[in-house]
Amino acid sequence: MAEGTGTLPRKLDHIRIAVEKEVESGHPTLLGDVRIVHQPAPEVDLDSVDLSVEVFGKRLSAPLMITGMTGGHPDVEWVNAALARVAERHGIAIGVGSQRAAIEDPSVEETYRVVRREAPTTVVVANLGAPQLVLGYGVEEALRAVEMVRADALAIHLNPAQEAFQLEGDTRYRGLLRAVKEIVDNVGVPVVVKETGTGLSMEAVRQLSALGVECFDVSGLGGTNWVKVEVLRARERGVEPPRPPDGFTDYWGNPTALAVVEARVAAPRACVIASGGIRTGLDAARAIALGADLAGVALPALRALYRGGDEALDRLIASLKEQLRVAAYLAGAPTVRDLMVRPLTITGRLREELEARGISLGALVRAKIARLMALGRRV
């Protein structure tokens, strides 16, 4: 993700720390406060539940994505190759990690190109970081990133919390909106704006949607926490992060469930990807019921691969799909899209947060119906 001086060793540090250390936020995603109402007479056969969805003009076999993590160092090429192979086999979407490394050093392009080679037909999403846009990357770099993996969309990642605690962090974010607009207008593929574990907000989604951003990956609080990763990385070197992190890791950010609702309400017709702490197919089902189009996983895919290779990653994706299928069946949803409008209850902290943010359940239902209508479905 964020790089600066010493990009290459830092990429390896990030992967190693994410695989080996406790890097998940102690704060919940709040998906636990969502209950999809059980329907004992569902009028749907389990085996006939249709999980397929269309995104960026392509049909996926299930509403799932392995979100961007890596590339940029020869030692991680096999990771991107394996993630892409499994994504292609399962017909799900895949993102690459920040392509800054290859923009700066074309000799590592291959570590990203391998994704399109191993995943020739499925949705592939390119990736650049907001700090690079602020510091001068523009349409030219965006087009190179897209061409490199023949991407169906370009993700621009926002990681201001990580940058604040990274030893070499770039904390300049002023001017980002203008840079995003320039790219949206000229890159020729849909732009996804994604967070990286501290969650999009209603305000950000509204601003970015007005610029023409078509898709939002909320990457909320409750999963991989980049403040934790950077603190661990600094302390491994015997130094403290540039600012005291106490309290931030399990507090700061917009929890995933809340971020999904905020994105859906702020941009009712846009595509919304739920990620950050999605660990089971049931988490994915709850996020879709709240208004997401797709659910994304990063850390669990990486860990499965390191622990058990392609086979373990295969099992993870298969189990996400099967749990999604069961949830749709038990909710009485013949297709996974129908999950979005099946009865659910929201209680506890998520309900309180929604109230505190001035979001009514009625507004959420209207936004979800607007999304389904934008997809051309009768509701």
Interface contacts to ligand FMN, rule CB under 6 A? 1, 14-15, 18, 67-70, 97-98, 127, 155, 157, 194, 196-197, 219, 223-224, 275-278, 297-299, 302
- Kindly state the smallest distance separating residue 35's Cβ from ligand FMN, in Å: 22
Helix axes 256-266, 348-356, angle to 10 degrees: 40
The answer to whether 130 and 173 have CB atoms below 8 angstroms apart is: yes
- Kindly state the smallest distance separating residue 102's Cβ from ligand FMN, in Å: 12
Alpha-carbon gap, residue 120 to 102, rounded angstroms: 20
Query: What residue number has its CB nearest to ligand FMN?
Result: 223
Q: Which of residues 198 and 209 has its CB atom nearest to ligand FMN in the complex?
A: 198
Q: Which of residues 69 and 270 has its CB atom nearest to ligand FMN in the complex?
A: 69
Q: Which of residues 49 and 258 has its CB atom nearest to ligand FMN in the complex?
A: 258
Q: Which of residues 18 and 49 has its CB atom nearest to ligand FMN in the complex?
A: 18
Q: Where are the beta strands (DSSP E) in the chain?
A: 34-36, 53-55, 58-60, 64-66, 93-95, 124-129, 153-157, 191-194, 215-217, 271-274, 294-297, 344-346
Q: Which of residues 279 and 377 has its CB atom nearest to ligand FMN in the complex?
A: 279
- Kindly state the smallest distance separating residue 18's Cβ from ligand FMN, in Å: 4
- Kindly state the smallest distance separating residue 94's Cβ from ligand FMN, in Å: 11
Q: Which of residues 51 and 302 has its CB atom nearest to ligand FMN in the complex?
A: 302
Q: Which of residues 9 and 343 has its CB atom nearest to ligand FMN in the complex?
A: 9
Residues forming beta bridges with residue 294, ordered by sequence position = 273
The answer to whether 230 and 170 have CB atoms below 8 angstroms apart is: no
Calculate the CA 299 to chain-centre distance.
Answer: 11
- Kindly state the smallest distance separating residue 158's Cβ from ligand FMN, in Å: 8
Give every CB contact of residue 233 below 8 A, 6+ residues apart in sequence. 10, 13, 14, 17, 166, 167
CA distances from 370 to 270, 340, 343, 378 (A): 9, 11, 17, 10
- Kindly state the smallest distance separating residue 270's Cβ from ligand FMN, in Å: 18
Tokens 């940029």: give the residue: 72
- Kindly state the smallest distance separating residue 64's Cβ from ligand FMN, in Å: 12
Would you give the DSSP letter of residue 191? E
Angle at 81 between CA 78 and CA 82, to 5 degrees: 85
